[in-house]
Amino acid sequence: MDKVKKGVRLDRISKIYKDPKTGKDFYAVKDTSLTIEPGSFVTLLGPSGCGKTTTLRMIAGFESPDAGEIYLGNEAINELTPNKRDTAMVFQSYALLPHLNIFDNVSYGLKLRKVPKDEIKERVTKILSLVELSGMESRMTNQLSGGQQQRVALARALVIEPSVLLFDEPLSNLDAKLRVQMRTEIRRIQQEVGITAIYVTHDQSEAMAISDKIIIMNKGVVAQIGSPYDIYYHPVNEFVADFIGEANFLRGKVVYSNEKQITAHIEGTDVILPNEKGLNAGDSCTIVLRPEAAILKESGGLKCRVVLSCFMGSYQNYHVMVGDTLVKLEEHNPKNKHIFKVGETCCLVFDPDSVHVL
Amino acid sequence: MATKQGAALDRKKLLGDPIMITTIVLLITFLTLFILYPLAVLLVDSVVGDGGVGFGVFKRIFKIPTFTKAITNTLKIGFTVGVFATAVGLLFAYVEEYVKLNGFVGGLFKVVSMLPVVSPPFVLSLSMIMLFGKAGILTRYVLGIYDNSVYGFWGIVIVQSLTFFPVCYMMFKGLLRNIDPSLEEAARDMGASRFKVFSSVTLPLLLPGIGNAFLVTFIESIADFANPMIIGGSYDTLATTIYLQITGNYDKAGASAMAVVLLSITLLMFIVQKFYLERKSTATLTGKASRVRMLIEDRSVKIPLTLFCATVALFVIIMYICVPVGALFPTWGYKFFPLTGKWFGQVFSKYKGLKVFKDSFILSFISSPITALLSMIISYLVVKRKFKSKGFIEAVSMLAMAVPGTVLGVGYIRGFSNGIFGSGILQGIYGTGIVLVIVFVVRSLPTGTRSGISALRQIDKSIEESAYDMGANSFQVFSTVTLPLIKDSFLSGLVTSFVRSITAISAIILLVTPQFLLITVQINEFAEKGAYSLACAFASILILITYAAVLLMNIGMRRFGVSKISEK
């Protein structure tokens, strides 16, 4: 595809809905600005009701923003109806046309664009081979598996060569194994075509696996934008830390700080940590501790008591109480390691560099 | 406030879509002109009818004893029929869903559920008279009772109950299917007897549905014109009184006011039914049955229930059979043999049968595709699109359901005989086939729309959105996606509206001009004159036509219906 790649820009977008129960207005999306680079794969991630799907549907044109402007490339597209926008969407329920066969489904958009017959045939054949469905042209949609149907939906969106591909939780109807396989597929195809893609999901591992950039949304506003690595290791708040991966939060008080380091008092123990946020003595702080970032030892670190110890195969799952705080741990590759039992007291040990201070 | 931008953008997008705008404008014009306007005229008429604004006309009609009597008559009948039809319908549905039936009884049930679809409205009245009337076969020849009168309250009640209970039966069947059997099994498991399970679990779940069925029947009953006309005798109901007021007494203002009274009653019922009971009856039964119900095989329950239902079903079927048979007897009530074809002959030789069937057929044939397409467009707009006047379109097309045919008929007379508001505009259509076609369309629109809406609700919204997203405009979405997906509903709407139109009488009888001879009007005339054999001959042919139409639809559905998707 030798089309000029286009990005998407949202300029202070808001969308207001009426709550059907209370009749009150609320912001589904509030004053959100985003820039999505041409050719990048960006994921909108968040719990249900966070505004991610509304945002996507506004980009597609199904919903109209109550404030702000949406740009596709340099063009303002607020007033364009979905059929006039150069976007193509892959729906959660696939939304294939059940009365048409695969070929007719994929060629639907091309026929509307009055593309010559020969060219339609050529382009459909090419795209079907890209999604590995060659030879299925004359099948009806209900003769395909869920994964195959999703490929058809993807092919149908790709074949019209849109500037932007939109995905609305495309894998949530598939079983876990297929989901993993399809997300790799989607990433491969996006890279091959080099198209701008905006992907909505509530599955954080899916988002991590395919995105160049993740936009985490919560209650209608953007919580954090960053690469999967950034977001995992440098979450801006507890919501993000908790939503991406598993996180334990240890509360403490800064007793000493300089530019590089702080000393935090946590559950009766002083811990030296990097000072990324410029905290001062007397501030309270929260430590984000990933389950794989700490181990249990006989001595050193924070005192704790084991309340659950469970062998999971690839790791040993512990729940320990550090003071009144429950901390979940995963000790990987537990073979030949000492296994702590429920009721034992021991010590929680972690490397200051592998935790994040909020 | 910020909301304005979204609404403004939606409006702009809509305006950028000329096909949508044109469709919406045309629809609103049609609905306003042919549903709202005639009703508004009635209201205006009854307030200013006798000269001077006020309630003079109402005061006058409420002094007419036959009118006040008609109100109580109508309500009494509506209530009794509502109770009977609901009870029998519930029993039928219960037996079908809960009791193990043998093939024969199951077949009877199927026939009974089909009959009201194909039958003209007054067939049961005809056969009631022929079976139980003065010269009735059963009363006079089997039981030896002379002078038995079927005319009056009980005649109407029996006929209407038998006519309307299949509708209740189908409603309850749907509701019972949605009750999760495990609820009842749990009650049974905790020690409840079968009757206790019914009274403490099944019945409370059905309660809103029962209210719903009762009111639907009530509305149907008080709006019914044909049966009271034929079997009511001197027992007048509102519908017949209005008819007589306008055709006999030429009191148009009075008839308008009476129509307003009748309309207020049905409208009130309709509002209660629509906004209170219908919502509740589906809300309590949202659960899908998790497994198949264990059918009752207990003979002490099974035999009496089955026997009762089978008897009712057989009775109804006999009444229908009575119609073609009645047309074959040389003289009903006096001479039965040898069977003769002379009445059928006379239909065509003496009574312009060919023209009668041609007129009815052509008018219905023109109106049915219009109705079907219109109701699909309305359903599409209501279910799939959002725009401001959508509520209006939905409300008005549903409102038509609550308008009795007689009321609509009077409204059209008052509204169009001198053109719109007496201005002469559109006067040209009055008395022509166009007005008849429009009435047919309006009368069938609610049923078509309702079935279209429920069909469209089954279809995932994103299927149309995907087509829209791929670049299709509204018209392309509707014609290449929506319509092909609901073609079953479209086809059945086509046939239903055809059948409804060709069997319609209440509104039409007020509007038809001598240049058109319609079957139902003919049947009514012959029945009034006591020429039952001729009425039966006409009715038999009519049933044949409607049955053929339904048969055609079923074949069509099998050929072009859902099967196409799975066949390749």
Q: What is the pLDDT along chain A (358 residues), one digit of tens a residue?
A: 456 788 999 999 999 988 878 888 889 999 999 999 999 999 999 998 899 999 999 999 998 999 999 999 999 998 888 888 999 999 988 889 988 899 999 999 999 999 999 999 999 999 999 888 998 899 998 889 888 999 999 999 999 989 999 999 998 888 888 889 889 989 998 998 889 999 999 998 999 999 999 999 999 999 999 999 999 999 999 999 989 888 999 998 998 888 888 888 888 888 888 888 888 888 888 989 999 998 888 888 888 999 999 999 899 999 999 988 999 999 998 888 888 989 989 999 888 888 888 8
pLDDT exceeds cutoff 60 at B87 = yes
Side by side, the strands of the sheet bearing A25-36 are A25-36, A8-18, A67-72, A75-76
Tell if the CB–CB gap between B3 and A89 is shorter than 8 Å: no
Q: Which CATH class is domain B69-326?
A: mainly alpha
Q: Which listed CATH number (2.60.40.10, 3.40.50.300, 3.40.1640.10, 3.20.20.140) goes with A8-242?
A: 3.40.50.300
Tell if the CB–CB gap between A98 and B485 is shorter than 8 Å: yes
Residues B511 and B527: their CA atoms lie apart, in Å, by 20
The SS3 of residue B334 is coil
State pTM to two decimals. Answer: 0.81
pLDDT exceeds cutoff 50 at B472 = yes
Q: Which residues of B touch A113 (CB under 8 A)?
A: 471
Q: How many residue contacts between A and B have a Cβ separation below 8 Å?
A: 108
State pLDDT tens for residues B343-369. Answer: 888 878 777 878 888 889 999 999 999
Q: Which residues of B touch A87 (CB under 8 A)?
A: 469
Q: Which residues of A touch B13 (CB under 8 A)?
A: 61, 64, 79-81
B15 has a chain A CB within 8 A of its CB:
no
Q: Which residues of A touch B469 (CB under 8 A)?
A: 60-62, 82-83, 85, 87-89
Q: What is the pLDDT of residue B565?
A: 39
Tell if the CB–CB gap between A160 and B5 is shorter than 8 Å: no
Beta carbons of B321 and B126 less than 8 angstroms apart: no
Instruction: Please name which of B566, B114, B536, B475 lies closest in space to residue B329, comparing C-alpha atoms.
Output: B536
Task: Kindly give, in sequence order, each residue whose CB lies less than 8 Å from that of residue A173, ignoring residues fewer than 6 positions away.
Answer: A92, A93, A94, A146
Pairwise pLDDT comparison (B567 vs A101), residue with the higher score: A101
The DSSP symbol for B138 reads I
Cα first-last separation, chain A = 45
Between the alpha carbon of residue B19 and those of residues A85, A108, A154, A227, B22, the distances in Å are 19, 20, 30, 45, 5
* Minimal C-alpha gap between B15 and chain A (Å): 10
Q: What is the CA radius of gyration of chain A?
A: 25
Q: What is the pLDDT of residue B287?
A: 54
B279 has a chain A CB within 8 A of its CB:
no
Q: Which CATH class is domain A246-357?
A: mainly beta
* Minimal C-alpha gap between B267 and chain A (Å): 27
Q: Which residues of B touch A70 (CB under 8 A)?
A: none
Tell if the CB–CB gap between B2 and A93 is shorter than 8 Å: no
Quick one: pLDDT band at residue B281, thresholds 50, 70, 90?
low
Tell if the CB–CB gap between A112 and B470 is shorter than 8 Å: yes
Site of tokens 């009514």: B524
The DSSP symbol for A18 reads E
* Minimal C-alpha gap between A135 and chain B (Å): 15
Cα first-last separation, chain B = 54
Between the alpha carbon of residue B291 and those of residues A351, B178, B283, B288, the distances in Å are 56, 11, 20, 9
* Minimal C-alpha gap between A198 and chain B (Å): 15
Q: Which residues of A touch B473 (CB under 8 A)?
A: 83
B16: closest chain A residue by CA: A81
For B565, the closest of A79, A88, A142 (CB atoms) is: A142
Q: Which amino acid is at B411?
A: G
Enumerate the domain spans of chain B: 69-326
Tell if the CB–CB gap between A160 and B471 is shorter than 8 Å: yes
A50 has a chain B CB within 8 A of its CB:
no
Q: What is the pLDDT of residue B563?
A: 39
Residues in chain B: 568
Task: Kindly give, in sequence order, each residue whose CB lies less than 8 Å from that of residue B232, ignoring residues fewer than 6 positions away.
Answer: B151, B152, B155, B156, B240
pLDDT exceeds cutoff 50 at B60 = yes
pLDDT exceeds cutoff 90 at B315 = no
Tell me the backbone φ, ψ of residue A322, rounded to 5 degrees. Answer: -105, 100
Tell if the CB–CB gap between B472 and A95 is shorter than 8 Å: no
pLDDT exceeds cutoff 70 at B58 = yes
Q: Which residues of B touch A95 (CB under 8 A)?
A: 460, 462-463, 465-466
Side by side, the strands of the sheet bearing A345-350 are A294-297, A345-350, A302-311, A315-322, A325-332
DSSP string, A111-152: HHTT--HHHHHHHHHHHHHHTT-TT-TT-BGGGS-HHHHHHH
ipTM of this model? 0.81
pLDDT exceeds cutoff 50 at B564 = no
Pairwise pLDDT comparison (A278 vs B314), residue with the higher score: B314
For B2, the closest of A61, A66, A138 (CB atoms) is: A66
Tell if the CB–CB gap between A89 and B468 is shorter than 8 Å: no
A21 has a chain B CB within 8 A of its CB:
no
Q: What is the pLDDT of residue B295?
A: 77
For A64, the closest of B6, B466, B473 (CB atoms) is: B6
* Minimal C-alpha gap between A2 and chain B (Å): 20
- Where in chain A are all domains bearing CATH 2.40.50.140? 246-357
Tell if the CB–CB gap between A66 and B467 is shorter than 8 Å: no
Tell if the CB–CB gap between A99 and B484 is shorter than 8 Å: yes
pLDDT exceeds cutoff 60 at B11 = yes
* Minimal C-alpha gap between A95 and chain B (Å): 4
Q: What is the pLDDT of residue B246?
A: 87
The DSSP symbol for B232 reads -
Quick one: pLDDT band at residue B247, thresholds 50, 70, 90?
confident
B482: closest chain A residue by CA: A97
pLDDT exceeds cutoff 70 at B50 = no
